[in-house]
Amino acid sequence: MKIFNKAFIYLFCLVFTFSNQLNAKSVPESFAELAEKLMPSVVNISTTQTIRTTTNQFPFQFPPGSPFEEMFKDFQRPTERKSSSLGSGFIIDKNGTIVTNNHVIANAEDILVRVNSKEYKAKVLGSDPLADLAVLKLESKDTFVPVSFGNSEKAKVGEWVVAIGNPFGLGGTVTSGIISAKHRDINLTRYDNLIQTDASINQGNSGGPLFNLKGEVIGINTAIIAPGQTGSIGIGFAIPSNDASNIIDQLIKYGETRRGWLGVRIQEVTKEIAEVEKLEKAKGALVASVSEGSPADKAGLKAGDIILEFDGKKIDTMKELPKAVANTKVGKSVVLKIWREENLISKRLVLGRLESSKEFKEGQKTKKPRKKSEVEIDSLKIVVRDINEDDIKERNLPKNSKGVVITEISNRSPISRFVNVKNIILEIQKTPVSSNSIDSLVETIIKKGEKTLLLTIVNNNNRRRYVGVKIN
């Protein structure tokens, strides 16, 4: 028994010693020097835009379909108010070129950038909603301290990272964590390939840098997952520097992106499809259709082809192909390896430009022009319209019901995880809402310091339910 105890104690000591040695090697003693070095290069961004709505001059409303409804529409007063938002960014050259997220500056009328304690106006050099990136230029002749990009592909899961930004308007905030995962796809953008980190990222951190311990930018903080709340729960995402660098260079040089284009619509290769096509395993991207006159069409690609390799890069999953094509220079001659009728063949083609393609332009038009009846609710980042008689009949609502139908909802809306397009919001805090009242009601609730919105909704199955949403 004594021998066993001695052996156990010895083993414990070995484990304890090894653990201490491991921690000593992997855990930095302090981030102070790193933070001090990088702080001057991280900026706080504030933007303003004008929100236009209409308000009813009368203290009453008429039920949908009432003959008085149309009569009194002429008395609705257009109103304007200023809305502001906060974000982060970082300086990439001494002349004051700044990288941030597109959603930080989208639709901004004025952009102010705080560098340390000094404020500057900034203009947009270029922006890319598809990758959620934007490049700004400070309107100043001052000299600034830039940071450099690192190689995000060399970053490993488990490595320490540091995030610096402007969460909730608290400028110059430093948080640390590790890389939790790489190559995450959360359907945020068309080209998701995100770094996941547990470094604390909150509202206002968007556009800020994610540094490695060398002080190199390996990611641009862009999103968090925080179900039911606005704060961080340790699941944040950053655009990898390797993906961002090419786009940033294009935005600086051209003011826009120039992505490669094949001209095919693709889908996943399932096990069943692989079995039928006599592929050894499910891999590649299955061509569902080929656009007439596209580079793929000119090269002889057909529906039913399976693209296994693009320009020397193996395509294991469907989502790898659009990313590989987009990151390839327009006009480059590339070779595709294709599985067709149980044979591996090669096709050479010259890449076109995505932004000039018919399908891209048509895709841009999918955002329907906003109807006069639709109102943007800035506080909730949704677009709504008032319910009408057709809604009341179709959704089995009581006569003279009030409420709004959601027609658009941003993935950054605080209620996006709880409601869907075509859901009806009847009440907030048990107060009936309309398109003219909902925004001011929410803002009043927020100003009072209340932390939760209680929504009364009718879902798309016509079921009435209550939803509690954390907002503070």
| pLDDT tens digit sequence for 238-270 | 999 999 999 999 999 999 999 999 999 999 999
Q: Which helix (H) or strand (E) holds 294?
A: none
- pLDDT at position 74 over 90: no
- Give the pLDDT confidence score for residue 341 in this predicted structure: 92
- Residue that is written with structure tokens 């009043």 in the block: 444
Catalytic residue numbers read: 103, 132, 206
Bridge partners for 161 per DSSP: 177
Report how far apart, in Å, the C-alpha atoms of 26 and of each of 20, 175, 213 are. Answer: 10, 17, 11
Residues 375, 436 contacting (CB under 8 angstroms): yes
Between CA 277 and CA 340 the distance in angstroms is 8
DSSP letter (8 states) at residue 149 = B
**Does 225 have pLDDT greater than 50?**
yes
Tell me which DSSP letter residue 18 carries. Answer: H
C-alpha neighbours within 13 Å on the C-beta side of residue 40? 10
Q: What's the CA gap between 250 and 260, in Å, rounded?
A: 13
338's tokens: 């294709």
Stated pTM of the model: 0.67
Judge whether 306 and 339 are in contact, CB under 8 Å.
yes
* CATH number of this structure's domain 261-360: 2.30.42.10
pLDDT tens digits for 270-284? 999 999 999 999 999
CA distance to 45, 87, 139, 222, per residue, from 39 (Å):
14, 15, 20, 19
CA distance 339 to 278: 10
Residue 341 token pair: 């009728």
Distance CA 316, CA 325 (A): 14
Mean pLDDT on 340-344: 94
Q: What is the pLDDT of residues 161-191, one digit of tens each?
A: 999 998 888 888 999 999 999 999 887 777 8
3-state secondary structure (DSSP) of residue 191:
coil
Distance CA 184, CA 225 (A): 12
Q: What is the model's pLDDT at position 3?
A: 47
The pLDDT confidence band at residue 395, using thresholds 50, 70 and 90, is confident
Q: Which fold has domain 375-470?
A: Pdz3 Domain (2.30.42)
The one-letter amino acid at 267 = Q
**Domain 35-257 adopts which CATH fold?**
Thrombin, subunit H (2.40.10)
- pLDDT band at 227, cuts 50/70/90? low
Rounded to the nearest 10°, the torsion over CA 386, 387, 389, 395 is 170
